[in-house]
Homo-oligomer: A and B are copies of this chain.
């Protein structure tokens, strides 16, 4: 009491309006500062919300970030169909590259760092993003087999992740843009030659 005028004034958001503002603020912070430097205070202030509101909905920083990233890209399985394997592969890699270069990439870094104490969360992250990549790749290859571009035996599970793994590797290690030159190199030097052959079980 005394002189402390209470300046808690409206308007006050609720429900989805509030949630969306918080998620948007999270994405912005992620984009600007990365995961390691993202603070709950900053998100709250940016969203014009209170920390208590954040913690009522998400039990920790990681959970908030994962939700924010995930709802950013709920793409309903857009599997490219360019009429040829090379075009399909390039389109698929471009999708993966775009995702990595956005806030999802920054989140990925952070999530991996906390992997030891938070194995479950990594499992979720994997199920969400990696699964989609594999599915897209499998479909692209199925079509190529159908068109007679590659032998059916060329499609084995181990190979499905090669493209995405190389992009992740490049992004996480080199920390450089995943430009189209890199993507075409991966397709022409690696994926096309690889899927033109069948695995050998030699000694």
Instruction: Report yes or no: A36 in contact with B116, Cβ–Cβ below 8 A.
Output: yes
Task: Count copies of this chain in the complex.
Answer: 2
Query: Does A190 sit at the interface, judged by CB under 8 A?
Result: yes
Interface stretch, picked from A5-13, A70-78, A104-112, is A104-112
Tell me which of B109, B116, B122, B196 contacts A37 (CB under 8 A).
B116
Distance between Cα atoms of A9 and B200 in the complex (Å): 66
CB distance from A35 to the nearest CB of B (A): 6
Instruction: Report yes or no: A161 in contact with B166, Cβ–Cβ below 8 A.
Output: yes
Known: A194-B190, A199-B193. A166 touches B173 (CB 8 A): no
Chain A interface residues (CB < 8 Å from chain B) = 33-37, 86, 106, 109-110, 112-117, 119, 122, 126, 130, 156, 158-159, 161-162, 164-166, 168-170, 172-175, 185-186, 188-190, 192-194, 196-203
